[in-house]
Structure 1
Amino acid sequence: MTTGQFELFLWIMIALAAVVFVALYFVKAGYGMLRDGRWGPKIDNRVGWIVMEAPVFVAMTLLWWFSDRRDDAVRLVFFGLFQLHYLNRAFVYPLLIRTPSPMPLGIVTMGVVFNVLNACMQGGWIFYFSPEEAYPLSWLGSPQFLAGTLLFFAGMAINLHSDHVIRHLRKPGDRNHYLPRGGFFRYVTSANYFGEIVEWTGFAVLTWSLAGTAFAVWTFANLVPRANTIWHRYGEMFGEEMRGKKLKRVIPYIY
């Protein structure tokens, strides 16, 4: 693949994200509290998360290992930040799930496909298609890297805290739904998604790349419509409480 072909691939992925963004306002993502009878046979959600998220960790590792740039300091930092997220998402987060529930194989399969493509986007840019001189050691002191890293870790902290809140909403055996409280749940009903959007926006900034931007766009396109569906579902369940708190969907004070 040439650099031009790789850039075309990134633009196609961004265009597909726009299509997905619109489609998800009409088609529910059938997992979590929005699961339904569609999207194929079901497997345990803990297994599903590992199967869905581990491929991006493995693929990114392979892209790093076979690259001539695998010892480049700045690119190693990018790689480490990316893998830090997926180390949690693929191998820690699933083991912390307290309430097992079914996850459709159709959702898992789509997740695997996107995650492998995303590894190709991020690993391809970082280790193969970015100009050799794009990331000198001085990049680690650049405004883009510093601001992006701050956003990345702020988003990760929000995401991890929000996941913790959601995990502890129920006691063992309890199947009821509760309105999350605390942290950024004081402002939005999907604080975990807000954290992830901030995190990958930060990654796009710290790498200052079209590849990072493509992933940030996909994160927004996938999570914002889902947050909208959850907001409406919570409205049906906890309307009075939500109106009192004036909760937004995913972006505090805005949407």
Structure 2
Amino acid sequence: MSYSLYCFTEIVMLILGFACFIALYFIPAGYGKLIDTKWGFCFNNKAAWVLMEIPALVVITGILFKAEYSHKAVRILLASFYMAHYVQRTFIFPFLIRGKNKMPLSIVIMGMIFNAVNSFLIGAWIFYFSPAEQYAPSWLSDPRFIFGTVLFLIGMFINITSDFYIRSLRSNGSRRYYYPCRGMYRYVTSANYFGELVEWLGFAVLTWSPAGFLFVFWTACNLVPRSHAIHKKYTEDFPAELSQYKPKRIIPFLY
């Protein structure tokens, strides 16, 4: 792929991300708490998550093994942050899910396509299109790498622990949802999404890459409208709790 085509692809993704942001305020993605059969055929939630997330690992691993670039060790380290998230999301997170909810095949397919394209953009930047000296060994002592790494680890911790807390509220096989009010859920109704936003902001900073910042934008375009829909559902299902705690949607004290 030429660099001009790479840039064109990023522009297209930017436009699509904004379109999704608008659309998801009117048509919430029908999975999880917002499951809706109008999205079509649904199947096992655990298998759905594995299928949806695994393209991210397959694509970036393929790019990594084919890459011939200077300072490859530093670039592998940068890619490992991205891969660590998707190892957890592909091989750990799905098998910890409680309950017997299902996920629409249509959403799984869209997720697979996005993860494949996003992984290609990130991998191509890190291993092919980034300036030759950008990721020299000295990058590891750069304030952007250090600050981004701290953000990434904090975000990943919030994301994983928030998911753990949500799971702890449900017994195996139950489809009932409970109001979460501990940890970051004291401040936002979508604490796990807040953690993921912080995580990918950290990745964008530690790589200081257009592909990384595009991913943060896409993450926000997907999760901010979804957090609004979840907050609205909690308003309907748990009015007393929401009145008591007054949490925001996804960004503490702001939105």
Same fold? TM cut 0.5:
yes
Measured after TM superposition, the shift of residue 121 of structure 1 is 0.9
Gaps of 5+ in 1: none
How many Å separate the matches in 1 of 2:134 and 2:211? 14
When normalised by structure 1's length, the TM-score is 0.97
Aligned to 1:11: 11
Measured after TM superposition, the shift of residue 154 of structure 1 is 0.4
Gaps of 5+ in 2: none
Give 3-state SS (helix, strand or coil) of 1:25's partner. Answer: helix
How many Å separate the matches in 2 of 1:188 and 1:76? 34
Aligned to 1:91: 91
How many Å separate the matches in 2 of 1:214 and 1:132? 21
Aligned pair count reads 255
How many Å separate the matches in 1 of 2:30 and 2:148? 32
Aligned to 1:110: 110
Aligned to 1:207: 207
Q: What is the identity, as a one-letter code, of the residue corresponding to 2:36?
A: D
Give 3-state SS (helix, strand or coil) of 1:73's partner. Answer: helix
Q: What is the identity, as a one-letter code, of the residue corresponding to 1:243?
A: S
How many Å separate the matches in 2 of 1:176 and 1:96? 16
How many Å separate the matches in 2 of 1:242 and 1:55? 37
Q: Per-residue displacement from partner, 1:23-73 (whole Å, max 9, x unpaired)? A: 100011010010111222111000000000011111110010111138712
How many Å separate the matches in 2 of 1:100 and 1:73? 42
Aligned to 1:75: 75
* Contact 1:64-1:70 at 8 Å conserved across structures: no
Give 3-state SS (helix, strand or coil) of 1:103's partner. Answer: strand
Q: What is the identity, as a one-letter code, of the residue corresponding to 1:165?
A: Y
How many Å separate the matches in 1 of 2:173 and 2:50? 23
**Which region of structure 1 is more displaced relative to structure 2, 239-248 or 65-74?**
65-74
Q: Per-residue displacement from partner, 1:152-179 (whole Å, max 9, x unpaired)? A: 0000000000000111111223322111
Q: Per-residue displacement from partner, 1:157-204 (whole Å, max 9, x unpaired)? A: 000000001111112233221111211001000000000000001111
Aligned to 1:143: 143
How many Å separate the matches in 2 of 1:193 and 1:173? 24
Measured after TM superposition, the shift of residue 114 of structure 1 is 0.2
Aligned to 2:154: 154
Measured after TM superposition, the shift of residue 116 of structure 1 is 0.4
Q: What is the identity, as a one-letter code, of the residue corresponding to 2:219?
A: T
Q: Moved runs in structure 1, 4+ residues, more than 4 A?
A: none
For the aligned residue pairs, the C-alpha RMSD in angstroms reads 1.1
How many Å separate the matches in 2 of 1:181 and 1:191? 10
Aligned to 1:186: 186
Give 3-state SS (helix, strand or coil) of 1:24's partner. Answer: helix
When normalised by structure 2's length, the TM-score is 0.97
